[in-house]
Structure 1
């Protein structure tokens, strides 16, 4: 969905929640192939049985990719991604877990580029049990409605 939302239109604590997505074995194998990360934690079921979680866990970078992808249901023509800060993988994600993203506007501030402000979204990826599995800050460079 396309929308036009300017810096001035963002409100602190404003929230949106994405739809859910179930993590599959195929997701993990494809991600391992794309990244070259074949660590046994992700791809070796038998080895994982000897480890604390007793089963394979999804790559953190996979959860980041899918979690952020879930937030991309709204395309704001007045903003662009400026980067990500404070990325943390808080709990493991297993095959069969269903995750969704909760996005909360946490701050707004001026930017050195005239006519733009910086909006920070706190992104929390949550599993089916309500546990936060990943969190980060998404920085958006957003046009102002009223140019300076």
Structure 2
């Protein structure tokens, strides 16, 4: 349900259960709100588990013994199983969603420069930070812009465990608010 501001007749946004209380929906940032060079720290961290590793690894049909076989992995250079690097990448990107792209992204355009300089192990906590390294309005899609961001994942000791450069097509605030259904998309 949407209320109306009694002073100017402008829709006031969704209201909770018709009770007149204005609702502020959690979202990421629009193209015009993202600042180049700023470090966005995504919290809380995510402590990764053996269950996470086994489920993700088997779900994606990656039967690499380095992720699944404790006895075999003990004899390898790291001396233990490693978290699946694709799990690490997905979690690192996922940790940025609430703060940066929730409801404001149109499409992920690509990932480049992906690296895993240090392993992530069962029981480690992954912390992610993002720096916006570039942004430009789209020449072919009015009201949309392309944002380049560098994600960095660190363990609880500060060691960098993953890096990736990500490009996304994002809404500008004004253009997205003009889209049918942009206000009150989610039921309250």
- Please tell me the TM-score bracket, short chain as reference: 0.7 to 0.9
Is 1:11 paired with 2:38? Answer: no
Query: Which structure is higher in RCO with an 8 Å CA cutoff and minimum separation 6?
Result: 1
SS in 2 for 1:114: coil
- Cα offset, 1:77, TM superposition: 3.6
Higher share in strand: 1
Is 1:129 paired with 2:154? Answer: no
Is 1:79 paired with 2:80? Answer: no
What TM-score, normalized to structure 1?
Answer: 0.87
What's the CA shift string for 1:42-63, capped at 9, x where partnerless?
1111111111100000111011
Match of 1:141 among 166, 169, 175: 169
| Match of residue 115 from structure 2 | 88
| Match of residue 134 from structure 2 | 107
| Cα distance change on mapping 1:124 and 1:48 into 2, 3 Å | same
Point out the structure with max Rg over C-alpha: 2
What is the total number of aligned residue pairs between the two structures?
147
Match of 1:120 among 148, 157, 161: 148
- In 2, Cα distance between equivalents of 1:58 and 1:132: 14
| Cα distance change on mapping 1:49 and 1:138 into 2, 3 Å | same
- Cα offset, 1:76, TM superposition: 4.4
What's the CA shift string for 1:97-118, capped at 9, x where partnerless?
1101101111112423232221
Gaps of 5+ in 2: 1-24, 176-188
Gaps of 5+ in 1: none
